């Protein structure tokens, strides 16, 4: 008999067949020892830990842009119904709910995550609507969670919309008592707008925030053209838009990051110069780089450098920031200190200039991937397509089930006496349900309610009796007595017809990829209209030794079109096929009723476009910055590309290829009759924030700008019908910031409404129109003064001569244009009426006449403007030499 205390002898049959030969087997019953290299064991264990950290903690999902902790907080707040219309709730309760149901990692991990989603200097599109002390950019820490309160922000509500409509997959929570979503439906493009920062094991993610309006435009552009290029996307989404503003220096890092998923951008603070009453210069910091603290990062560093005598021109630094006034850090300079030098020193030695590393790593189907801009947009659109299809399928199922239930009710109500008799004859509810399911139902064509019932329910033959399902029978069993009245059939039929329409619509959506994309596009446009705002971060060209976008843009000739409403686009010249003389041409843009092409020119992609505004400022953009758009579209509103102030409008667009031409000048005219002539080269250095083109006096505004060659005449027209024509050289050359000299002596209440350049030997005619719809064409030679030695212009600054009679019939002059008989014109009234006429149909008369009726204007309306239609709106763009700016 074997000894029970003796260990069992392990035979070969008991050993692990996969164990290596000659291994030492253990003495434990049923077990064995396996020798493994320690490198292998560490690698396997570390890889398991690393993947757990990557997937479950540090990296965001590309679909909703959230890490698990962020997603669980939002879901917990949604469970608590903390929507924007509800009262704020204690953060301690939110943290407790999150920890209890979804995230068992302690409040030390949950509360800081909650706070970060509600700090406006960290998050471009807030997800948490905070109340209480959530810290500051100084940086001050937030108050304890027992003191602060929060609720979901509207952006977060968009993230959670349709969560209960089977739009995403769910999984059990940590203790399998609740289910949590694997991802949110995310109508709001959170990852693209807010970015993400996280350090995993062996990798890190650093994704920048962007402007919501630009991201929405980029998504729409991708939906409309899946083959959109990165270059085209860069025209729509020029770069990151940090919540703290600042200035991004150069575009090379942006282009590299958007193309490869990795790049570096240099971000500077916004600093401007001021002068105190005592004459001392100060530097004022109003915006700082992203993720840089104001006090610990900037103020303390400047104080330290000043103490170490590295910033010797700084006398003092004062933080004047406030919740109302925003950020304002004032740096006082010593007497004689050069503000520009000190500013550059601050950029070099302090975090006022910092580098933001872009590392676009996110989870794609559970795996970390490095993504470019187009990939990020594409994956978000794919997610929204899945969500919309699943939502529609869910609604279809619900509608089909409801329609199925109502079908049974219609049969029952039409045969209600038999149904009541059958139910009363049953002893139990289950027996009644079973009898209903066994009985055949039909509605004869002579039934009193037949005219209101769809034909598919009507039948005369018993062979076509309908057998109710259990769902329908139970629905009949739940009918209340009051619902058995005759009118209930009309309500049932109405609801049934409505459900059929919904079912048909849902099936159409599921069967049409185009409709699904249209819904994604509409949702995106709705987001832009509801939450879109202006860009905060400025992007400068070619700063700090970086390459700019021009280095990535090939030099080519393009056709630039600008509409009357201020929409601009460019298109390669090759898109316009050459035609013979007399051809019909191609459509340059499908203009809307209230818009038309007003200016067309051919330029190089590396040329500049000067934009002069009514406030006397000038902006400069590169032609390659103008978005390339199909020939039949209007393009993009140029006001979205410039940093315009409220009520600031563009008066003149001017393409420039060379600022150094000595024979080119710019002549400005203002409403109060002043003119200024300045060399074109004075405007070669215009920064993105705009530059003063002409200093305007109080109450004055810029009404026009024209280039001159040094041998041209200038004609000014006033609203009271006066005009003056003088030689441009009568206005001496002045500096860029000069306010100009008197161009015409205006009577009280009069103002200049038109500036016309009259070239030497001009054969065109001057068209003048008044607010009541009258006007005339007049030879420009009539505006010369007859002298003994021949016609000559007047002298600058005179009262001028009568151009058109201004009286009760005509009203005031509103506009002047240099035209020929072949030109087409658009006449625009205050009430929005637009009339197109040919200039040749307007009678040609002498100066100092009343003119003729040009357009019928209603008694309560007035003509406000005329504009010449650009030729390439109907003619071939290869004939645009006549419209190409001679400033080139």
DSSP classification of residue 844 = B
d(C-alpha 280, C-alpha 335), whole Å: 6
Residue with tokens 């709730």: 89
Catalytic residue (choose from 32, 102, 111, 147): 147
Say if CB 77 and CB 127 are below 8 A apart.
no
300 contact partners, CB below 8 Å, separation of at least 6 = none
Number of H helices, E strands in the chain: 17, 44
d(C-alpha 428, C-alpha 738), whole Å: 99
CB crowding 428-461: b at 16 or more within 10 Å, else e: eeeebbeebeebebbbeeebebeeebeeebbbee
Say if CB 126 and CB 140 are below 8 A apart.
no
d(C-alpha 685, C-alpha 660), whole Å: 12
d(C-alpha 817, C-alpha 354), whole Å: 51
DSSP classification of residue 244 = T
Told to judge if 147 belongs to the known catalytic residues of this protein, a careful annotator would answer yes
**β-pairing, 281-287 with 270-275?**
antiparallel
d(C-alpha 753, C-alpha 704), whole Å: 9
Q: What is the 3-state secondary structure (H, E, C) of 527-594?
A: HHHHHCCCCCCEEECCCCCCCCHHHHCCCCEEEEEEECCCEEEEEEHHHCCCCCCCCCCCCCCCCCCC
**Cα dist from 719 to 289, 679, 700, 814, 837, whole Å:** 50, 29, 15, 6, 22
787 contact partners, CB below 8 Å, separation of at least 6 = none
d(C-alpha 66, C-alpha 105), whole Å: 17
DSSP classification of residue 789 = T
> In this structure, what token pair is assigned to residue 746?
């205006």
Can you list the positions of beta strands (E) in 648-804? 650-656, 665-670, 674-679, 691-692, 702-708, 713-718, 722-727, 741-742, 752-758, 765-770, 774-779, 785-787, 790-792, 801-802
Residue 496 Cα to chain centre, angstroms: 41
**β-pairing, 538-540 with 247-249?**
parallel
d(C-alpha 380, C-alpha 186), whole Å: 9
Q: Which residues pair with 441 in a beta bridge?
A: 466
Say if CB 210 and CB 192 are below 8 A apart.
yes
- How many CB atoms are closer than 10 A to CB 331? 26
- What is residue 780's three-state secondary structure? helix
**Cα dist from 486 to 18, 449, 472, 489, 620, whole Å:** 79, 9, 20, 6, 75
- What is residue 324's three-state secondary structure? coil
d(C-alpha 675, C-alpha 730), whole Å: 10
Which of 249, 202, 79, 99 lies closest to 151 in space, CA to CA? 79
- Angle ∠(178,183,189) on CA atoms, nearest 5: 145
Q: How many CA atoms are closer than 13 Å to the CA of 849, on its beta-carbon side?
A: 16
Q: Which residues pair with 676 in a beta bridge?
A: 668
Helix ranges (DSSP H) in 311-372:
339-349
Would you name the residues annotated as active-site residues? 147
């Amino acid at each position: 008999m074997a000894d029970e205390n003796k260990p069992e002898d392990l035979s070969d049959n008991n050993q692990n067949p996969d164990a290596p030969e000659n291994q030492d087997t253990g003495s434990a019953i049923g077990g064995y020892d396996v020798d493994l290299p320690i490198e292998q064991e560490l690698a396997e264990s570390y890889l398991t830990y690393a993947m757990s950290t990557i997937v479950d903690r540090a990296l965001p999902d590309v679909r909703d842009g959230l890490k698990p902790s962020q997603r669980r907080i939002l879901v917990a707040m949604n469970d608590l119904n903390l929507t924007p219309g509800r009262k704020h709730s204690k953060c301690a309760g939110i943290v407790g709910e999150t920890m209890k149901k979804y995230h068992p990692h302690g409040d030390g991990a949950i509360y800081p995550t909650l706070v970060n989603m509600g700090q406006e200097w960290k998050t471009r599109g807030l997800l948490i609507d905070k109340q209480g002390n959530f810290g500051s950019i100084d940086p001050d820490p937030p108050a304890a969670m027992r003191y602060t309160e929060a609720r979901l922000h509207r952006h977060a509500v968009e993230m959670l919309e349709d969560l209960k409509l089977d739009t995403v997959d769910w999984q059990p929570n940590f203790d399998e008592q609740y289910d949590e979503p694997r991802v949110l439906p995310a109508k709001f493009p959170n990852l693209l707008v807010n970015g993400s920062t996280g350090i995993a094991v062996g990798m890190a993610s650093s994704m920048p925030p962007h402007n919501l309006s630009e991201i929405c435009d980029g998504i729409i552009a991708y939906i409309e053209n899946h083959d959109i290029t990165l270059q085209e996307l860069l025209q729509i989404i020029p770069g990151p838009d940090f919540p703290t503003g600042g200035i991004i220096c150069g575009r090379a890092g942006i282009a590299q990051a958007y193309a490869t998923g990795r790049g570096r951008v240099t971000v500077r603070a916004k600093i401007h110069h001021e002068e105190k009453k005592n004459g001392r210069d100060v530097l004022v910091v109003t915006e700082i780089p992203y993720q840089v603290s104001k006090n610990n990062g900037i103020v303390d560093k400047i104080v330290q450098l000043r103490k170490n005598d590295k910033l010797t021109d700084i006398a003092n630094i004062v933080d004047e920031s406030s919740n109302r006034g925003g950020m304002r850090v004032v740096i006082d300079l010593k007497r004689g200190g050069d503000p520009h030098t000190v500013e550059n020193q601050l950029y070099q030695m302090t975090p006022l200039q910092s580098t933001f590393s872009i590392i676009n790593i996110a989870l794609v189907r559970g795996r970390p991937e490095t993504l470019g801009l187009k990939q990020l947009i594409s994956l978000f659109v794919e997610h929204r397509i899945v969500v919309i299809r699943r939502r529609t399928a869910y609604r279809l199922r619900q509608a089909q089930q409801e329609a199925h239930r109502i079908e049974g009710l219609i049969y029952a109500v039409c045969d209600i006496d038999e149904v009541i008799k059958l139910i009363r004859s049953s002893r139990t509810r289950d027996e009644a349900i079973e009898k209903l399911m066994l009985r055949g139902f039909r509605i004869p064509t002579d039934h009193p309610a037949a005219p209101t019932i769809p034909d598919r329910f009507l039948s005369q033959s018993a062979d076509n009796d309908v057998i109710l399902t259990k769902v329908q029978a139970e629905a009949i069993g739940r009918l209340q007595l009051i619902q058995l009245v005759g009118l209930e059939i009309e309500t049932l039929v109405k609801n049934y017809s409505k459900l059929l329409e919904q079912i048909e619509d849902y099936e159409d959506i599921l069967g049409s990829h185009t409709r699904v994309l249209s819904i994604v596009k509409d949702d995106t446009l709705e987001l832009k209209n509801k939450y879109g705002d202006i860009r905060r971060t400025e992007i400068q060209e070619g700063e700090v030794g970086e390459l700019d976008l021009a280095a990535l843009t090939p030099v080519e000739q393009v056709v630039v079109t600008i509409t009357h409403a201020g929409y601009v686009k460019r298109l390669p010249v090759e898109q316009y096929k050459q035609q013979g003389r007399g051809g019909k041409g191609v459509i340059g843009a499908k203009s809307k009723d209230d818009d038309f092409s007003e200016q067309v020119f051919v330029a190089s992609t590396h040329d500049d476009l000067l934009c002069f505004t009514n406030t006397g400022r000038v902006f400069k953009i590169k032609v390659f910055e103008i978005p390339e758009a199909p020939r039949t579209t209007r393009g993009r509103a140029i006001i979205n590309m410039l940093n315009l102030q409220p009520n600031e409008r563009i008066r003149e667009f001017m393409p420039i290829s060379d600022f150094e031409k000595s024979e080119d000048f710019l002549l400005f005219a203002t409403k109060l009759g002043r003119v200024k002539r300045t060399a074109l080269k004075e405007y070669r250095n215009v920064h993105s924030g705009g530059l003063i083109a002409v200093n305007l006096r109080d109450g004055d505004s810029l009404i026009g700008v024209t280039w001159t060659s040094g041998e041209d005449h200038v004609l000014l027209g006033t609203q009271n019908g006066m005009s003056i024509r003088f030689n441009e050289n009568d206005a001496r050359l002045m500096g860029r910031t000069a306010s100009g000299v008197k161009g015409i002596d205006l009577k009280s209440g009069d103002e200049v409404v038109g500036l016309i350049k009259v070239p030497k030997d001009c054969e065109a005619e001057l068209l003048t129109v008044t607010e009541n719809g009258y006007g005339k064409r007049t030879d420009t030679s009539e505006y010369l003064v007859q002298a003994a030695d021949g016609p000559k212009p007047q002298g600058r600054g005179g009262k001028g001569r009568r151009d058109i009679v201004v009286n009760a019939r005509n009203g005031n002059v509103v506009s002047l244009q240099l035209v020929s008989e072949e030109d087409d014109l658009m006449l625009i009234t205050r009430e929005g009426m637009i009339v197109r006429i040919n200039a040749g149909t307007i009678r040609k008369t002498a100066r100092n006449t009343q003119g003729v009726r040009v357009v019928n204007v209603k008694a309560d309306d007035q003509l406000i403007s005329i504009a010449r239609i650009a030729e390439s709106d109907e003619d071939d763009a290869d004939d645009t030499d006549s419209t190409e700016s001679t400033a080139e």
